[in-house]
Amino acid sequence: MLERSEFTLADGVRLHVETSGPADAPVTVVFLHGWCLDRRTWHYQIRALEGTNTRVISYDARGHGRSSTTRRCSATLRQLGDDLAEVIDAYAPAGPVVLAGHSLGGMTIMEYADSYPQEFAERIAGLLFVSTTAEGATHTCYGLPTPLTPFLRAAEQTGAGLLARLGAWRPHRAVLPALRPGVRWLLFGDEHEPGDLALTMSAVGRASLRSIGGFRASVGAQQRLHTLAALGDVPAAALVGDKDRLTPPACAESIAEALTGTELTVCEGAGHMLMMERPAEVTAALTAVVAKAARSTRAQRRGRGIRARREGYDQAA
């Protein structure tokens, strides 16, 4: 049965959290959504896990969805990694955990891994990366000719800085119909369900201007390939659409290269909202990771983390 709750973080921000499945399930899956979106974007995968004896946790990140707003100084990936650590401690205090992250959510996972290496090694038994990157804006060209990329990035960064200063307002809700064609082009590939575009527009309307602009700096600057390389052979899958204009295939390819044993899938004709555009493929990858996680033990996870850190130290030396 679905349970909704509010969880207050250490700095007072309130997160909207939804849970389902038995508390003593063999595996817990935590879903993390993308920038300017919310937990509902994972609805196909959450529904697919119903009745599978899996604990499911999904929540709206600070400044998104039904969660409360965030201060501008806290609109960072590092803070989102800290928030994830608090959510896991509160809602999944024991047992193996699979983290599934889309876009910003995938980057949040990497921040958590970088900030909490011991906890990550002992608790995280599987990873699903969907339409995300470990290299900030390195590969992003917005689906346009690459000579235009530097100018577009400069304009986007300037605009993001201005939006971040405008606080918790959501005036763009009034012009969502006008924004719809642009959002559809930027986020979706060849085909999509009308209901999924409507849900996406609804999520964008819930994000505050501070969230839309505030997270841009840390998203663009993040570099976490070395963090992934230190994780060892944790079961993982990375999926991307070949028409993703924000995190193109090169992003998923570098993740798979850095993280040993990652299964890479490139979906033809799909864009950035892959878990909606190709729900069957994403769900299949997730259930495969969950099955591997269910067979893992804490000793195996801890040993994996120790080996990975030792190899990282050797490489650094």
For residue 83, the domain's CATH number is 3.40.50.1820
Rounded Cα distance, 109 and 235, in Å: 14
Rounded Cα distance, 299 and 129, in Å: 24
Torsional class of 30: left (φ above 0), alpha (ψ -120 to 50), beta (otherwise): beta
- Asked whether residue 317 carries a pLDDT value surpassing 50, the answer given is no
Tell the residue number behind the tokens 């030396």, with chain if given: 317
* pLDDT at site 173: 74
Question: Which amino acid does the sequence have at 213?
Answer: G
Out of 6-10, 44-48, 304-308, 311-315, least confident range: 311-315
Backbone CA torsion sign across 214, 131, 45, 198 = positive
- Given a contact cutoff of 8 angstroms between Cβ atoms, the answer to whether 15 and 6 are in contact is yes
Torsion of CA 313, 308, 228, 295, to 10 degrees: -170
Q: What is the mean pLDDT of residues 194-201?
A: 96
Rounded Cα distance, 1 and 5, in Å: 13
Q: Report residue 214's pLDDT band, with 50, 70 and 90 as the boundaries.
A: confident
Report the predicted TM-score, pTM, of the whole model to 2 decimal places: 0.89
- Given a contact cutoff of 8 angstroms between Cβ atoms, the answer to whether 298 and 120 are in contact is no
Per the structure, the complete domain to which residue 239 belongs is given by 3-316
Rounded Cα distance, 198 and 61, in Å: 20
Q: Report residue 315's pLDDT band, with 50, 70 and 90 as the boundaries.
A: very low
* pLDDT at site 316: 39
Out of 43-47, 104-108, 153-157, 270-274, least confident range: 153-157
Backbone CA torsion sign across 263, 269, 271, 277 = negative
Tell me the chain's radius of gyration from C-alpha atoms. 18
- Asked whether residue 138 carries a pLDDT value surpassing 90, the answer given is no
* pLDDT at site 77: 96
Q: What is the mean pLDDT of residues 271-283?
A: 98
- Given a contact cutoff of 8 angstroms between Cβ atoms, the answer to whether 134 and 65 are in contact is no
* pLDDT at site 314: 47
- Given a contact cutoff of 8 angstroms between Cβ atoms, the answer to whether 189 and 271 are in contact is yes
What is the count of structural domains for the chain? 1
Order of strands across the sheet with 28-32?
3-8, 14-20, 55-59, 28-32, 97-102, 124-130, 236-241, 263-267
Rounded Cα distance, 123 and 279, in Å: 27
Packing angle of the helix pair 194-206, 176-187 (nearest 10 deg) = 110
Out of 69-73, 110-114, 157-161, 214-218, least confident range: 157-161
Instruction: Print burial letters for 248-286: b (CB count within 10 Å at least 16), e (below 16).
Output: bbebbbbbbebbbebebbebeebbbbbbbbbbebbbebb
